[in-house]
C-alpha cells in the first residue's frame, strides 16, 4: 500500500483482523503440536508469524497504528530472548521507514501549503522520501539559499487516521499485552491518543525545535537542526547527516554505543533543565550519531580509531514534548536520593504525598524500597552497563504474578503529571539496553536532576556571607574597595570554571 488509507472502515477492518489472526495462529500452533512438533519450535514459528502480520499492518497503516509500533519498538529489550528474535527485525523496520506516499500526493500538499510555485523555494527537491514516520514523511531538498534541508510533509487525513487507529487498538489492548511483559498497553495507547493534536501541530513543533536549537546552538555534544520554514502540514528544517541510531544498535562499535548512550542520557536529563521542555519521542529513528565537528576540538581518536569520544548526538522530531518550566520535578530527584540512602520511611512518605501511593492503600515502606532498588541500580554506581538481559530481568520481576514486586506494583499509582515523563524515561532506558551502552548515568543525574544531590552540595555560600567572614567591620575603606574587586573577580572566575566543567558533561 502506497498511500494513507483514509476511510475509517478500511482501517478498522485491517486492525480488527489482528486479534482474529492471533487466535488463528494459536489454533494453528496447537495443530502443529498435536502433529508432533515440539512446543518450543511451534512457539517460535507462531511468534514469527505474529510479528510479521502485526508490524506489516502497523507499518502500512502509518497513523496511530505505526505510532504505537514505534512506541513498542523501544521496549523489545524487555522480551525474553527466545521471543525477541522474531520481533526484533519487524520492530526495527518501524523506526526508520514505512511505505511512502505517491509523488502526486506529496506535490499536492506542497502546492496547497506552500503555493503553486513551491518549486521556486528549492534549488533541488528529491521526490523519493528519505524517511517516513507515523504522520508524515521527510524529503531531502536544497533551499533557495543553498542550505541542505529536510522537508517534512504531513500525510493527508493523518489526524483522522491517528484517532481511528488508537481508538480501535485500545479495544484489544489486552491482546497486545504479551508483547511487552510487565507493561500495560492500554494507558500507553490512551496517552498517545491524548496527544494527537500536538503531533499534528507543525507550528507548535517548529517552536519547540527552535527553542532547542537556540539553547544547544553552541553545545559540543548535541546538535538540533534549525527551523527554516513552517506552514500547516509542511515543516522545513536544516538537514543533518549522521549514522541512524538504529544502525549503531545493529552494528556500531563499543565506543560508538557507549558514546551514543551517554549523550542520549545527557539529552534526556539536560533538556528539561535547559529548555523547560522534554523531548517525548525517544525512539531510535529520531536520533543520529554525527562525526566530530571539523571546526571544533581536534579528533583524539578512539580505541577503534574512529574518534567515537568526539561524536555528537543529532536530535530530530519535536512533535511531542512535555512542558516542564521548572525542569524535571524535584520529587524524582528527591525520591532517587532517598532510595539510594535506604531511607524507606522518607521515600514512602514522599511517594504518598505526590500521589504514587493512594490514601486508600497501605504499604510497608521497606517493601516499597525493595521494589525500587533494582530499578534504580544504574544510579548506584559510577558507570552502568545497560543490556537486554538486565532489562529482561527487570521486566520478568515485575511481570511475574507470583513475585512480590508484581503484587506491590499493582498497588502503586502513576499521577497524570508523571505519565509522559515515566514513558520517556522507560523508553530511553530501553534504547540504552538495545545499544548495550556503558553509561555514567549518575554523572548526568548529579548535573541535571533537581533534588538528586543533597541540599548542602547544591548550594554554595553567598559572596556576601564570605565577605562578612573574611573582612572585619572596622577595616579601612581601601580594604572595602579591595573586597569589591576580589568579589568581582570571584564572581567572574567561578562561573567560567563551572562553564568549562559543564561543557564536558552537558
pLDDT at 491 over 50: no
Matching residue, cell 572585619: 472
The angle, 0 to 180 degrees and rounded to 10, between the axes of the packed helices 63-73 and 39-61 is 130
> What is the percentage of the chain residues whose pLDDT exceeds 90?
46
Q: Cα(380)–Cα(340) distance, rounded to whole angstroms? A: 7
The residue extents of the domains of the chain are: 8-97+164-194, 242-459, 461-505
Q: Cα(8)–Cα(13) distance, rounded to whole angstroms? A: 8
| Mean pLDDT, range 146-157, rounded to an integer | 93
Matching residue, cell 520478568: 396
pLDDT at 31 over 50: no
Range of lowest pLDDT (64-73, 103-112, 146-155, 176-185): 176-185
Q: Cα(356)–Cα(181) distance, rounded to whole angstroms? A: 21
Closest CA relative to residue 92, chosen from 118, 122, 72: 72
What is residue 59's predicted lDDT score, i.e. its pLDDT? 53
Q: Cα(32)–Cα(41) distance, rounded to whole angstroms? A: 10
Q: Cα(329)–Cα(327) distance, rounded to whole angstroms? A: 6
Q: Cα(7)–Cα(265) distance, rounded to whole angstroms? A: 41
For strands 312-315 and 222-223, give the pairing. Answer: parallel
pLDDT at 254 over 80: yes
Matching residue, cell 541542505: 148
pLDDT at 183 over 80: no
The angle, 0 to 180 degrees and rounded to 10, between the axes of the packed helices 202-215 and 254-275 is 100
pLDDT at 493 over 80: no
Amino acid at each position: 500500500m502506497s498511500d494513507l488509507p483514509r476511510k475509517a472502515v478500511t482501517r478498522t477492518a485491517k486492525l480488527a483482523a489482528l486479534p482474529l489472526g492471533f487466535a488463528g495462529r494459536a489454533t494453528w500452533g496447537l495443530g502443529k503440536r498435536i502433529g508432533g512438533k515440539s512446543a518450543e519450535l511451534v512457539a517460535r514459528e507462531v511468534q514469527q508469524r505474529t510479528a510479521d502480520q502485526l508490524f506489516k499492518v502497523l507499518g502500512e497503516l502509518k497513523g496511530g497504528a505505526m505510532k504505537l509500533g514505534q512506541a513498542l519498538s523501544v521496549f523489545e529489550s524487555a522480551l525474553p530472548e527466545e521471543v525477541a528474535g522474531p520481533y526484533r527485525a519487524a520492530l526495527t523496520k518501524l523506526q526508520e521507514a514505512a511505505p511512502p506516499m505517491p509523488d502526486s500526493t506529496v506535490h499536492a500538499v506542497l502546492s496547497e501549503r506552500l503555493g503553486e510555485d513551491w518549486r521556486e523555494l528549492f534549488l533541488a527537491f528529491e521526490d523519493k522520501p528519505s524517511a517516513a514516520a507515523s504522520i508524515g514523511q521527510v524529503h531531502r531538498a536544497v533551499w533557495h539559499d543553498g542550505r541542505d534541508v529536510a522537508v517534512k510533509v504531513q500525510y493527508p487525513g493523518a489526524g483522522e487516521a491517528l484517532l481511528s487507529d488508537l481508538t480501535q487498538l485500545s479495544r484489544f489492548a489486552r491482546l497486545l499485552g504479551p508483547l511487552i511483559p510487565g507493561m500495560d498497553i492500554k494507558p500507553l495507547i490512551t496517552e498517545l491518543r491524548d496527544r494527537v493534536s500536538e503531533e499534528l501541530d507543525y507550528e507548535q513543533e517548529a517552536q519547540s525545535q527552535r527553542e532547542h536549537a537556540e539553547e544547544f546552538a553552541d553545545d559540543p555534544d548535541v546538535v538540533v537542526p534549525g527551523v527554516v520554514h513552517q506552514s500547516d502540514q509542511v515543516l522545513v528544517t536544516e538537514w543533518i547527516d549522521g549514522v541512524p541510531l538504529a544502525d549503531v544498535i545493529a552494528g556500531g562499535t563499543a565506543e560508538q554505543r557507549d558514546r551514543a548512550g551517554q549523550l542520549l542520557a545527557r539529552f534526556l536529563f539536560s533538556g528539561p533543565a535547559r529548555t523547560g521542555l522534554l523531548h517525548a519521542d525517544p525512539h531510535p529513528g529520531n536520533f543520529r550519531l554525527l562525526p566530530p565537528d571539523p571546526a571544533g576540538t581536534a579528533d583524539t581518536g578512539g580505541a577503534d580509531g574512529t574518534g567515537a569520544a568526539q561524536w555528537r548526538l543529532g536530535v530530530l522530531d519535536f512533535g511531542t514534548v512535555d512542558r516542564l518550566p521548572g525542569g524535571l520535578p524535584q520529587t524524582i530527584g528527591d525520591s532517587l536520593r532517598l532510595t539510594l540512602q535506604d531511607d524507606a520511611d522518607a521515600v514512602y512518605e514522599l511517594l504518598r504525598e505526590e500521589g504514587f501511593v493512594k490514601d486508600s492503600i497501605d504499604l510497608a515502606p521497606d517493601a516499597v524500597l525493595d521494589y525500587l532498588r533494582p530499578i534504580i541500580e544504574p544510579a548506584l554506581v559510577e558507570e552502568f552497563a545497560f543490556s537486554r538481559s538486565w532489562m529482561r530481568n527487570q521486566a520478568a520481576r515485575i511481570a511475574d504474578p507470583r513475585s512480590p514486586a508484581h503484587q506491590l506494583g499493582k498497588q502503586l499509582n502513576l499521577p497524570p503529571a508523571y505519565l509522559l515523563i515515566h514513558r520517556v524515561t522507560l523508553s530511553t532506558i530501553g534504547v540504552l539496553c538495545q545499544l548495550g551502552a556503558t553509561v555514567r548515568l549518575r554523572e548526568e543525574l548529579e548535573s541535571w536532576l533537581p533534588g538528586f544531590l543533597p541540599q548542602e552540595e547544591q548550594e554554595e555560600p553567598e559572596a556576601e556571607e564570605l565577605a562578612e567572614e573574611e573582612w572585619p567591620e572596622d577595616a579601612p575603606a581601601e580594604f572595602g574597595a579591595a573586597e569589591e574587586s576580589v568579589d568581582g573577580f570571584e564572581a567572574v572566575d567561578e562561573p567560567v570554571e563551572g562553564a568549562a566543567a559543564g561543557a564536558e558533561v552537558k
